[in-house]
Amino acid sequence: MDEQKIFLITNGIFEQECLKEIAKDITREFNFPVSIYEGSLDLREFYDEVRRQYDGNRLLKEIEKMDFPDAIKKIGLFRNDIYIPILTFIFGQAIYKGNSGIASLYRLRNEQYGMKPDESKLLDRFKKVIIHELGHTFGLKHCYVPTCVMRSGTYVEHLDQKNHTLCKTCRSLVDR
């Protein structure tokens, strides 16, 4: 069998340098190599005309349907504003102990909150969301350690307060 990898499925344009950096951090946290795959979903099909946002539950299902024999986990990366029915927006979501998740950088941009664009902050936040969602797929629940990446949060300020690493306890709990 081929070596198991974590797949990042890009939906939209992402800078190669950023993807490489994200991949490096993922491997450091979860010990699996990362493969980057350019997705070809037609996102218009997931657009909700009334909410003017994209349907996060359906996007997650699409990622789950994608079949890569050597993928232990798959995370769909998006640039779109994503919602689920009970929330105004989401940064990402994942199937607990499943193999799929999604993450979007749309709501992570400073511009969204009337602040100056900051590419390095954006990448930092995006990494945290991706690692957090991967953590759920590896069986981690929300953590109360303030700096742990598994700490839950609704606002970018919460993301900025935590690290992009798992705390000791979460690390020891990762399902292998």
Task: Among 131, 143, 156, 159, indicate the residue that binds Zn ion (CB under 5 A).
Answer: 143
130 touching Zn ion, by CB under 5 A: no
105 touching Zn ion, by CB under 5 A: no
159 touching Zn ion, by CB under 5 A: no
What is the separation of C-alpha 130 from the centre of its chain, rounded to a whole number of angstroms?
A: 3
Catalytic annotation, pick one of 3, 17, 29, 133:
133
173 touching Zn ion, by CB under 5 A: no
Piece of the chain touching Zn ion by CB under 5 A; list 53-61, 75-83, 101-109, 143-151:
143-151
Task: Among 8, 23, 150, 159, indicate the residue that binds Zn ion (CB under 5 A).
Answer: 150
Nearer to Zn ion by C-beta: 23 or 130?
A: 130
Nearer to Zn ion by C-beta: 4 or 147?
A: 147
95 touching Zn ion, by CB under 5 A: no
Nearer to Zn ion by C-beta: 4 or 152?
A: 152
Kindly report the backbone phi and psi dihedral angles of residue 86, in degrees, each rounded to the nearest multiple of 5, phi listed first: -85, -5
167 touching Zn ion, by CB under 5 A: yes
Residue 172 Rama label (left phi>0; alpha psi -120 to 50; beta): alpha
Closest CB 9 distance from Zn ion, rounded Å? 19
> Positive or negative CA dihedral for 129, 25, 18, 113?
positive
Active site includes 15? Answer: no
Upper half-sphere CA count for residue 82 (Cβ side, 13 Å): 23
Piece of the chain touching Zn ion by CB under 5 A; list 26-34, 96-104, 110-118, 142-150:
142-150
> Which residues are annotated as catalytic?
133
In the complex, the residues that contact Zn ion under the rule CB under 5 A are 143, 145, 148, 150, 167, 170
